Amino acid sequence: MRILSLLLLLLTCLSTRSQKLTSGGKLKPEQALMDIRKYTISLDLDLEKKSIAGYTLIDLNTLQPTRVLLFDLMDSFMIQSVLVNNKKQPYEYAHNLIRINLDQELPAGKQSVRVNYSGSPHIAIRPPWDDGFTWTKDPAGNPWIAVTAEGGGGKLYYPCKDHPSDEPNEGAELIITVPKGLVVAGPGLLQKTTVKGKKVTYDWKTNYSINNYSILFNVGKFNVVTREYTSVNGTKIPMQFYVLEANTGKAAHHLEILEQTLRSREKYFGEYPWAKEKIAICETPHLGMEHQTMNAYGNKFKYDKVGGQDFDWLMDHEFGHEWWGNKITAKDWGDYWIHEGINTFGDNLDVLELAGEAEYIKRFKGMAPGFENKIPIVQGKDIDEETAYVGDIYGKGAFFMHTLRYVIGDSIFFPALKEFATSPKYTYDNLTSTEDIEQFFSKKAGKNLVPLFDLFLRTTKKLEISVRQIPNDAYLISLSNLDMTIPLKIVTESGEQIIMAGKKITMIKSKSLPIIDPDKYYLTRIIYE
């Protein structure tokens, strides 16, 4: 149970994350009319001053004529100029917003906005739970820089539309300049490196849509260890580990463990989402984070044994976000459980693959008592990240998928799960919601699953099961607060049986008190009468 204990410890830390920074919330009208197409971020890092200088170029479409463009950027910078379609424009910069007051109305259509700026980005106090830049040294004394931005959003260091409902459909490019001898690790594919004097510039580019908190980089004295991975669809994909020089000897085995995760995730969720680019991880001074095509890894090669094999629970979890969070992205932070809950369920599917069904069930039985269950994990819409980020989106979200699996059965559940994860309707440019998942699985199951979603996701209630003893060694069993029938395993002295339980009473024969739901497929409150 060591892995589970570590996960619960992590969730405890996450629940106490800094309250200072957040993203999302209700979309501002001035931003609703903008469709972001691409970010190009070109920055020169000054390691001594812990500052950055350069520009961000934002390609976008305006969906209607406007006299105002609005972007998010932390107030810690100095803006030198703002250009719209290569023409300087007046602007206001306050309250973490750049408000461009155009000198004439901008028609609907393609636009280009360039912001030239410099300054000191917010420093993370306790990354990855607190966002910002980490300026530190590796154990050998070399500069080591990391960026984390999931909670605070990309506005921590570049101007953007900081809302989950809009990703740059044509990708992002990062052009980062650092002192020569250091390496920059970023998203997508490395286009080129350019050495000029005592500096080196790394140009990274992804053509995939990408959430704005994954548009970032890490810097260090890295070696790059590579191998090739053949995906479930036969695609040859480069695997890369940007690892500190001192840990280079550990990288090959670590990539073997990563490949083990890949095999399992592809089985249940389809081909690795970024097959045209790369599979990569980068060693970071913080614990880890799901950055598209370049996951942050800081678990210091601490392995557990699962099914007799080395297993890195943190890398396994963060890498699973390449599907749930990066490929399948919630359009509102109110549906955050889709990222964390379904991905945590994926962690347990990896346990299922390595150690079997009994260990999988054991993990979920061990998880259930740890849920806080104070706030529903789906609280509504137009919610900011900080409000949505409660510990139960991990474990309780995963447990709901465990419940859903049992309710509709493996023959329906697993094909449906893979179909959802590979459907163009819900992936890449097309963002998703709890309602999408609810409707999709209801259709596949051939029954209305809304009451199940409502009970476990939109309330803090547990499934109430009434067990009433009557004469002649019999018990009456019914559900008090769920208006649908579900399979329910019961153990008596005669063995196991499964009934279809609902509000309608079902009678079972037993000489002793029956054991209800012994494998813990439901979060229950059992009422004995």
Residue 3: pLDDT above 60?
no
Q: Where are the domains of the chain?
A: 2-17+320-457, 29-262+277-301, 463-528
Q: Which CATH superfamily is domain 2-17+320-457 in?
A: Neutral Protease Domain 2 (1.10.390.10)
Question: Which pLDDT value is given to residue 390?
Answer: 94
Residue 488: pLDDT above 90?
yes
Side chain identity at residue 396, one-letter code:
K
Query: 228: buried, middle or exposed (CB in 10 Å: 19+, 13-18, 0-12)?
Result: exposed
Query: 146: buried, middle or exposed (CB in 10 Å: 19+, 13-18, 0-12)?
Result: buried
Q: Are 425 and 440 in contact (CB under 8 A)?
A: no
4-8, 206-210, 221-225, 372-376: range with lowest mean pLDDT? 4-8
Question: Which pLDDT value is given to residue 4?
Answer: 40
- Cα–Cα dist 132/208, whole Å: 24
Query: What value does the mean pLDDT of the chain take?
Result: 95
Residue 18: pLDDT above 50?
no
Do the two domains 2-17+320-457 and 29-262+277-301 of this chain adopt the same fold? no
Collapsed DSSP state (helix, strand, coil) of residue 113: strand
Residue 1: pLDDT above 90?
no
- Cα–Cα dist 187/292, whole Å: 6
CATH architecture of 29-262+277-301: Sandwich (2.60)
Confidence of residue 20 (pLDDT cuts 50, 70, 90): low
> Phi, psi at residue 166, to the nearest 5°?
-140, 110
The mean pLDDT value for 12-20 works out to: 42
The pLDDT tens digits of the residues spanning 262-306 come to 999 999 999 999 999 999 999 999 999 999 999 999 999 999 999
Collapsed DSSP state (helix, strand, coil) of residue 381: coil
The pLDDT tens digits of the residues spanning 27-74 come to 999 999 999 999 999 999 999 999 999 999 999 999 999 999 999 999
Question: Which pLDDT value is given to residue 10?
Answer: 45
| Dihedral sign (CA 500, 506, 511, 514) | positive
Query: For the domain with range 463-528, which CATH number is right: 3.30.930.10, 2.60.40.10, 2.40.420.20, 2.60.40.1910?
Result: 2.60.40.1910
The pLDDT tens digits of the residues spanning 366-419 come to 999 999 999 999 999 999 999 999 999 999 999 999 999 999 999 999 999 999
Query: 344: buried, middle or exposed (CB in 10 Å: 19+, 13-18, 0-12)?
Result: buried
Q: Are 484 and 499 in contact (CB under 8 A)?
A: no
What does 276-313 look like in DSSP terms, one character per residue?
A: TS-EEEEE-SSSEE--TTSEEE-STT--EEETTEEE-H
- Cα–Cα dist 464/93, whole Å: 54
Question: Which pLDDT value is given to residue 12?
Answer: 39
Collapsed DSSP state (helix, strand, coil) of residue 54: strand
| Contacts (Cβ under 8 Å, ≥6 apart) of 380 | 334
- Most distant CA atoms of the chain, gap in Å: 92
- Cα–Cα dist 124/134, whole Å: 6
Q: What percent of the chain has pLDDT over 90?
A: 95
Q: Are 260 and 308 in contact (CB under 8 A)?
A: no
